[in-house]
Amino acid sequence: MDRPAFDDRVAGYAISQTHRDGPTLQPTVEFTTAHENNRVLDVSTGTGFTAHALLRTGAQVVATDISHGMLRHTLTSPSSGLTGALSDTHRLAFANNVFDAVSCRHAFHHYIDGPAAMHEMARVVRPGGRVVIADTIAPEDDTAARAMHEIEKIRDPSHVVNRPVADLLELFESAGLDPVQTKLAETELLFDPWCDRTDVDKKTRDGLWEKFTRDKATKLMFSVHESDQHRTFSWPNAIIAGVRAL
Ligand SMILES: C[S@@+](CC[C@H](N)C(=O)[O-])C[C@H]1O[C@@H](n2cnc3c(N)ncnc32)[C@H](O)[C@@H]1O
């Protein structure tokens, strides 16, 4: 994972409508079951949209990220009581069993070692506590999954992998987390702001749009549309909550 790349992306993520209030935000907060006096860790907090939504439950929220720029933005934006630390999710800087819940939204696909990151999140949550992952998922169809992966890698070389829901559920179980809630959601993305966030140049952008529109199956699978104003597509997402065994 290239940390400086994320340091340069703060402005783009800070204005991203998808991250600010996309369809995965409220389910992520609900699935943590966070409430007053809970201690919640929001890993890979980015520009802090999930951390701030969690704060509104009355919970004490700790935000972490591997990117200094992202964390600085999140901790200095107007908020009450958000604390945080620079921390790689593969090696969280916290003792065992110290949080009631851990959330990780739109970041799991960046982790080089997904199982290790999942074990870390499970380690810091108390027995009976929850780990909630919200992320893009790979479609069941192999051709569509390959197309999605190819597009993601071109648009963002730091992208590692989108997993099918079944693989994510297995990762929860391997880390000692019982998956108790799963919700699927389609996230509609504006193609150009999505490219802007990772600084995609015009030639690469044209090539990406060609990949989205090259055949009917891809267009249908990812709800690809073009109007006078916008080019849009949708990625499949899942929000999954797992409870750590007592
Ligand atoms: C799309 S942003 C996260 C969005 C945010 N969670 C939200 O809800 O708005 C992805 C974040 O993952 C962070 N990240 C990538 N790899 C990481 C790692 N190994 N450990 C911690 N954070 C990481 C990046 O720095 C970036 O801030």
Contact 67, 89 (CB under 8 A): no
Instruction: Indicate whether 15 belongs to any domain.
Output: yes
Total structural domains within the chain: 1
Residue list, ligand 1 pocket, CB within 6 Å: 1, 6, 13, 19, 43-47, 49-50, 65-67, 70, 88-90, 105-107, 110-111
Q: What is the pTM of this model?
A: 0.96
Instruction: Indicate whether 49 belongs to any domain.
Output: yes
Q: Which domain holds residue 44?
A: 3-142+158-188+236-244
pLDDT tens digits, residue range 79-138? Answer: 668 999 999 999 999 999 999 999 999 999 999 999 999 999 999 999 999 999 999 999
User: What's the 45 CA to ligand 1 centre distance in angstroms?
Assistant: 6
Q: 1 pLDDT exceeds 50?
A: no
Specify the CATH number for the domain of residue 89: 3.40.50.150
Instruction: Indicate whether 88 belongs to any domain.
Output: yes
Instruction: Indicate whether 65 belongs to any domain.
Output: yes
User: What's the 147 CA to ligand 1 centre distance in angstroms?
Assistant: 23
Contact 29, 50 (CB under 8 A): yes
**% of the chain surpassing 90 pLDDT:** 89
User: What's the 225 CA to ligand 1 centre distance in angstroms?
Assistant: 28
pLDDT at 3: 57
Instruction: Indicate whether 212 belongs to any domain.
Output: no
pLDDT at 8: 87
Instruction: Indicate whether 47 belongs to any domain.
Output: yes
Instruction: Indicate whether 213 belongs to any domain.
Output: no
User: What's the 216 CA to ligand 1 centre distance in angstroms?
Assistant: 33
Q: Please, where are the H alpha helices in 24-164?
A: 25-32, 49-55, 68-76, 114-124, 142-155
pLDDT at 77: 78
Instruction: Indicate whether 116 belongs to any domain.
Output: yes
